[in-house]
Structure 1
Amino acid sequence: MHVEGTILRGPDFTPVEGRVVVADGEIVAIEETETDGDDVICPAFVNAHTHIGDSIAKEAGGGLSLDELVAPPDGLKHRLLRAADREETVAAMARSLRYMESTGTGTFLEFREGGVAGVEALRDALAGASGAESVGERDIDAVILGREEEAVLEVADGFGASGARDADFDAERNATRNAGKLFGIHAGERDDLDINPALDLDPDFLVHMVHAGELHLERLADRDTPVVVCPRSNLVTNVGVPPIRELADRTTVALGTDNVMLNSPSMFREMEFAAKLADVSARDVLRMATVNGAEIAGLNRGTIKEGADGKLLVLDGASDNLAGAEDLVRAIVRRAGEADVKRVVL
């Protein structure tokens, strides 16, 4: 199959007119040629940090603090997850998967609560086994990092730790390393006290880093430890906003939408917010929403080049919202949305 239009090619999203040819899930050719129409082709998004289990409780807990909302084991999110039956949870996650696909996300990195059972529930949602007739098999890919028990590594793609202040995660880190899987951990969300202990674990990536100081930034640079930032979530929980420019100067930074309870899992909204919040270019933000998250997960996607996975987002460049854009990348990052999506190739 192929899609054609203005292609945002390579890591710099260089606009070229032509077609992208995909075979067996891989980009096999990028042909520069004149085309009809106004479609814009960019990589499908990689949402680098989600908690979609709490799709059962959208906008619950307004006005609560971060700890009251999500701190294990008895934050509001955890109480609601324990109270929900499995079918309800799977169906709610499946709806979020459908929404993420419709807004251009091809891959997401999930910190999944509930141990082995929680991972299996998400895999059922991905397989369309929710029991909801309106939800079919999903083409979106998940990198699932389980939590709460070391045995989760038998069924998950890695371990997603809540934070160094919550427990000693040395055993989980060693087990994850031995299994050749990903280890991510929250750090610097409410304050800076858990950042150095998190870095001492030598994680594959950190999440949040709102309160990163100069020492922490230097350690990130020395270790080349990537960071996933979730600025909308941090604003909602009133913990501050991450120093995106300073982080990006030191290491790889990716974007995530965090808890569905707090925010819609739309990378369009996350990109716009990050671009207007931080002193970073639109191209940097689009990389944070695509190839940077893919690199953290060790995936060959997030950029349009021969040999990469053929996960693409096709936008209507002639929509009322995007028509007349002088800088396509800036327009996609700062103003595009679900209504501009013509097709998602997964």
Structure 2
Amino acid sequence: MERAGTILRGRELEPVEGRVVIDDDGRIDRIEETSVESDDLVVPAFVNAHTHVGDSIAKEAGGGLSLEELVAPPDGLKHRLLRETSREELVGAMRRSLRYMLEGGTAACLDFREGGVVGVRALREAARGLDVEALAFARGSIDAMKEGDGFGASGANDDSFDRERTATREAGKPFGIHAGEVDASDINPALDLDPDFLVHVVHPEPIHLDRIEDRGVPVVVCPRSNLVTDVGVSPVEELTARTTVALGTDNVMLNSPSMFREMATLSKLSDLSAREVLRMATVNGAEIVGLEYGVVEPGAEARLVVLDGDSNNLSGAIDPVRAVVRRAGVADVREVVVPA
């Protein structure tokens, strides 16, 4: 199998004309640089590094509420609505969001999964048969973590999470935690847990940036969500200078789970290059949890997005990387390629 067009190759996302050749095991065998007739853009599939897909039952609920009123456990609006929702409704709503992500070129999402073991199983059911990896970073119990793919802690001001961190380490699974979303008070306690990644880090102080760099702790930023909840925007330029930074869309209640929209927003809010933003949306998120894709290079798993470079939106684009990051959308996706 092969796909042809302008290929954004390797971590540097170098545009080359040619073909991506995929072997029978679903991995990229080689990239052939050659003249082709296709106007398509062949790019790595996205990894949405932070989601709350359960919020799909409450899209655009809670306008004007504070972050605490919206999402704080146990009585924030989302938690009340989740308690009132049947399993059938929850699974159906999550499945529709996962389908939308796949249509928009997302190969995987790292979902902070409410509801304990039952919540993890609901996500598994929602993702069944879909070509998107919905990784459950369980919340609520150690048993839920064992059922899922890791543990996703709400924040170090909510609990100590020492037991959960120990159990996660013993299980050989990743541990992520929200930190620095509202203020800086929970960043040091979160770092004391030696997490595999932090989420948000909107309000780091110099000591926190130093600790993040010294320990090489990756950070997932969610700019659209932080804008909606009015907590500020992560200092992405400082963070990317110090550690691996990935991109997530956060609560489906607040934003559509579109990596195109997230990239465009971040690109226009920051001084980061389009290449850096695209890496944040692809290979950086993949590397946080050891996924073998997110980059178009030999040996990588072939999870690709093929964009119609001759669409009304993309036709005439001079810089293909900037076009993908700042201009492209779900309507431009011709195909999402996943291993058989």
Q: Does the 8 A contact of 1:6 with 1:16 survive in 2?
A: yes
Q: Does the 8 A contact of 1:143 with 1:297 survive in 2?
A: no
User: Which amino acid letter does the alignment assign opposite residue 48 of structure 2?
Assistant: N
The CA distance in 1 between the partners of 2:86 and 2:173, in whole Å, is 30
- 1:146 maps to which residue? 138
Instruction: Note the 1:147-226 alignment, pairs <5 A.
Output: 147-226=139-218
- 1:339 maps to which residue? 331
Unpaired runs of at least 5, structure 2: none
Q: Tell me the matched-pair count.
A: 337
- 2:108 maps to which residue? 107
Shift of 1:33: 1.8
- 1:13 maps to which residue? 13
- 2:270 maps to which residue? 278
Compute the TM-score of the two structures, normalised by the length of structure 2.
Answer: 0.98
Instruction: Note the 1:33-48 alignment, pairs <5 A.
Output: 33-48=34-49
Matched, 1:308 2:300: yes
The CA distance in 1 between the partners of 2:96 and 2:46, in whole Å, is 18
User: Which amino acid letter does the alignment assign opposite residue 195 of structure 2?
Assistant: P
CA deviation string 1:125-172 (max 9, x = no partner): 011xxxxxxxxx201112211001111122111000000001110000
- 1:125 maps to which residue? 126
Which stretch shifts more, 18-27 or 294-303? 18-27
SS at match of 2:203: coil
Shift of 1:24: 2.2
SS at match of 1:250: coil
- 2:74 maps to which residue? 73
Q: Does the 8 A contact of 2:55 with 2:252 survive in 1?
A: yes
Q: CA RMSD in A?
A: 0.7
The CA distance in 1 between the partners of 2:146 and 2:168, in whole Å, is 10
SS at match of 2:310: coil
SS at match of 2:107: strand
The CA distance in 2 between the partners of 1:169 and 1:154, in whole Å, is 15
The CA distance in 1 between the partners of 2:329 and 2:274, in whole Å, is 15
User: Which amino acid letter does the alignment assign opposite residue 292 of structure 1?
Assistant: N
SS at match of 1:265: coil
User: Which amino acid letter does the alignment assign opposite residue 321 of structure 1?
Assistant: N
Quick one: percent identity of the two aligned structures?
Answer: 67
- 2:27 maps to which residue? 26
SS at match of 1:343: strand
SS at match of 2:89: helix
The CA distance in 1 between the partners of 2:271 and 2:16, in whole Å, is 27
Q: Does the 8 A contact of 2:146 with 2:171 survive in 1?
A: no
- 1:133 maps to which residue? none
Which stretch shifts more, 14-23 or 271-280? 14-23
Matched, 1:267 2:259: yes
SS at match of 2:316: coil
The CA distance in 1 between the partners of 2:211 and 2:274, in whole Å, is 27
Shift of 1:313: 0.3
The CA distance in 1 between the partners of 2:146 and 2:157, in whole Å, is 25
- 1:64 maps to which residue? 65
Q: 1:243 aligns with which of 203, 215, 235?
A: 235
Matched, 1:55 2:56: yes
Unpaired runs of at least 5, structure 1: 128-136
Shift of 1:25: 2.1
Compute the TM-score of the two structures, normalised by the length of structure 1.
Answer: 0.96
Shift of 1:12: 0.6
- 1:94 maps to which residue? 95
